[in-house]
Structure formats: C-alpha cells, structure tokens
C-alpha cells in the first residue's frame, strides 16, 4: 500500500482508508477479521463517525481489536461529529460532548483526526474555534478537518481557528464528478459548467487539504453502485477491459481512477467483505495512464468540450 501525506505533512497514512460505518452489523470476530485484513493490506487509516450505527460502530471497532495503548498505535483513527437527530450542531458544547463520547466508545485517549460532519447553517465559528483549542490543548484531538464543506465555509472557520484544516471529506466517484466537470466546462453554457461547490477541488489543492472521496462506488445519492450495473453498460465495459488487462478486479480500477488524480486523494472504502477489501487494495499497485483515466471519464457519459 502506497502512503501519502495528509494535509501537507500533518500525517502520513495509507492512500486508502477503511470506512467503518457498517461494522456494527458484524460480529466481533468478523469485525476483527476485517480490520486485521486491512492492516495486512497496508491500511492504517480508519474512518468513523459518532452517528455510525448509533455509536455502536466505534464500540465494535474497539472491542474487535481489543484496544489498549500498544494496539492503539497501529491505527490512525478519524471520527466525525455534528449530525444529530433531525438537525446539525457545531456548538462548542456538542463538539466537546461528542468527542468524549467517541473516546469512550473507541477506548482511546485521543483521536488522530476530528471532522465536522455536514455543515451547520447556524455555525458560530468562534465556538468551533474554542472547542478545537480545548480538544487540542488537552490532547484529545491531534488534527482537524471538515466534511462536505465548500471553500467559503472553510474560510469562515479558518478566520477563527488556530488549527489547520487538513481534510475535507466529499462525495466523489466515477459517476459523481461535479467538482471535476466544472473545471472542463469553463465559460460554457452547458450543465457541466455549473460550479456547485465553489471550485472545491482546486481550493483544497491550493490549501493543502486532503480530499477523502466517500461512496466511491455509488452513483447519485446512495442510489446504488455503478459497477456491474446495467444502467452503465459502456462504463462497465471499459472498466472490465482495463481490469482484465491489468489483472485486477473492477473495484480496483474504480479506486485507481480516484488515486490517479494528482490531488493525492484518500478514498474511503466501506466494504465489510474481506475478499472485496483485498481486491480493492490492489488499486494501490497499479497506475492508470492519462489516456485510460480519460477513457473511463468519457465512458461514464461525460463529454469533453
């Protein structure tokens, strides 16, 4: 597994992360097998959120690895907070309470990266800054980031924060390429020219913020996977062709497409299938050519100007 710099040196980690959203559905033994497989494949970055499984996913993770200080050092643990039942909450009080809850469930004294989940329209950045400073000074959180935020939302936080934003977790896959499309269709009256996210891809590159693509196999908003899907015949034909040529599975090609981008993204893969995880990790052993990357992009139904 190749390793990348997160946030321009804040961390060095595996270029693929294991998303732990659904490990609450696994037995402790199955969860341990999944996590150990990830480690064997070179994955050391594990993505959580306080809402995953209602908090149970964090608990299962800690129980599965028999968490203790010596074992804790094997992992880079990221978790997220801010989503509550029916609303979003970036208040100082909630951030501090959420982190304490995650620490307890994960059976650890610190979190490597804390992300603010979905933007809170009522955010008071001064409160976020206070919470982050408290968490950093007491050693509970070492690095900070956001999820699903645009440049101006990040700039608003940065005005008050003493900490660097090192990660932005965003939806991105071969079939969800809005942040890429807008860059192709500058100054054109076509749907692809609509900038829906404030040029977040370029912004993150300029500011050394690592993008973590979530749902890298999904199309739409949790509508399903595009691989082996009759809705995407040309795309699957191209992916399967490349997979055969390179001796990997279609899942590896889908992730390799993201890894090929020079932004040095870190895809979050949420599979709970051990065999599938091993297949996905092979993406780190190959590199698509520029032409192959574009062929996949076009096969997904995109058009170049």
Inside any domain, residue 174: yes
At residue 220, the pLDDT reads: 86
Does 298 reside within a domain?
no
Report the relative pairing of strands 268-269 and 224-225 from DSSP bridges: unpaired
Per-residue pLDDT of the chain (305 residues; tens, 9 = 90+): 999 999 999 999 999 999 999 999 999 999 999 999 999 999 999 999 999 999 999 999 999 999 999 999 999 999 999 999 999 999 999 999 999 999 999 999 999 999 999 999 999 999 999 999 999 999 999 999 999 999 999 999 999 999 999 999 999 999 999 999 999 999 999 999 999 999 999 999 999 999 999 999 999 887 899 999 999 999 999 999 999 999 999 999 999 999 999 999 999 999 999 999 999 999 999 999 999 999 999 999 999 99
Predicted local distance difference test score (pLDDT) of residue 31:
98
Alpha helices (runs of H) in 67-118, residue ranges in sequence order: 69-72, 92-106
Active site residues: 52
**161, two tokens:** 């924060």
Domain assignment of residue 172, yes or no: yes
Question: Is residue 52 one of the residues assigned to a domain?
Answer: yes
Query: Would you state the pLDDT for residue 223?
Result: 85
Quick: pLDDT tens for 50-95.
999 999 999 999 999 999 999 999 999 999 999 999 999 999 999 9
- Each residue's pLDDT tens digit, 160-190: 999 999 999 999 999 999 999 999 999 999 9
pLDDT of residue 297: 98
Task: Give me the domain span that covers residue 203.
Answer: 3-230+264-285
DSSP three-state, residue 218: strand
The answer to whether residue 235 sits within a structural domain is no
CATH of the domain at 96: 3.20.20.100
Whether residue 299 lies inside any domain: the answer is no
Q: Report yes or no on 209 lying in a domain.
A: yes
Q: What is the pLDDT of residue 222?
A: 79
Q: Would 250 be classed as within a structural domain?
A: no
pTM over 0.85: yes
pLDDT of residue 221: 82
Task: For residue 128, give Cα distances in angstroms to 133, 192, 264, 267.
Answer: 9, 35, 27, 26
How many structural domains does the chain have? 1
Q: Where are the beta strands (DSSP E) in the chain?
A: 3-6, 11-14, 17-19, 45-47, 76-81, 83-84, 87-88, 111-116, 141-147, 165-171, 210-214, 218-219, 224-225, 268-269
Report residue 268 as tokens.
Answer: 């979050």
- Report how far residue 40's alpha carbon sits from residue 110's, in angstroms, rounded to the nearest whole number: 24
């Amino acid at each position: 597994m190749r390793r990348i710099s997160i946030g321009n040196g804040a961390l060095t980690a595996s270029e693929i992360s294991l998303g732990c959203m659904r490990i609450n559905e696994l037995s402790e033994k199955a969860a341990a097998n999944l996590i150990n497989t990830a480690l064997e494949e070179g994955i050391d970055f594990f993505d959580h959120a306080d809402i995953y499984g209602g908090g149970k996913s964090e608990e299962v993770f800690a129980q599965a690895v028999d968490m203790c200080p010596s074992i804790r050092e094997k992992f880079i643990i990221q978790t997220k907070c801010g989503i509550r039942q029916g609303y979003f909450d970036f208040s100082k009080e909630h951030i501090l309470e959420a982190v304490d809850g995650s620490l307890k469930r994960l059976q650890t004294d610190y979190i490597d990266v804390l992300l603010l989940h979905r933007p809170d329209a009522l955010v008071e950045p001064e409160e976020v800054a206070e919470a982050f400073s408290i968490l950093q000074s007491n050693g509970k959180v070492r690095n900070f980031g956001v999820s699903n935020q645009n440049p101006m939302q990040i700039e608003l936080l940065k005005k008050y924060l003493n900490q660097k934003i090192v990660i932005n977790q965003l939806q991105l896959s071969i079939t969800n390429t809005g942040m890429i499309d807008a860059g192709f269709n500058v100054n054109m009256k076509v749907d692809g020219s609509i900038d829906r996210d404030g040029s977040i891809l370029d912004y993150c590159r300029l500011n050394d913020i690592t993008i973590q693509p979530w749902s890298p196999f999904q199309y739409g908003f949790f509508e399903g996977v595009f691989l082996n899907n009759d809705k995407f015949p040309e795309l699957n034909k191209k992916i399967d062709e490349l997979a055969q040529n390179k001796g990997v599975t279609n899942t590896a090609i889908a992730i390799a497409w993201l890894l090929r981008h020079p932004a040095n993204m870190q895809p979050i893969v949420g599979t709970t299938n051990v065999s599938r995880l091993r297949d996905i990790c092979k993406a780190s052993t190959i590199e698509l050519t520029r032409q192959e990357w574009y062929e996949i992009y076009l096969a997904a139904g995109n058009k170049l100007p």
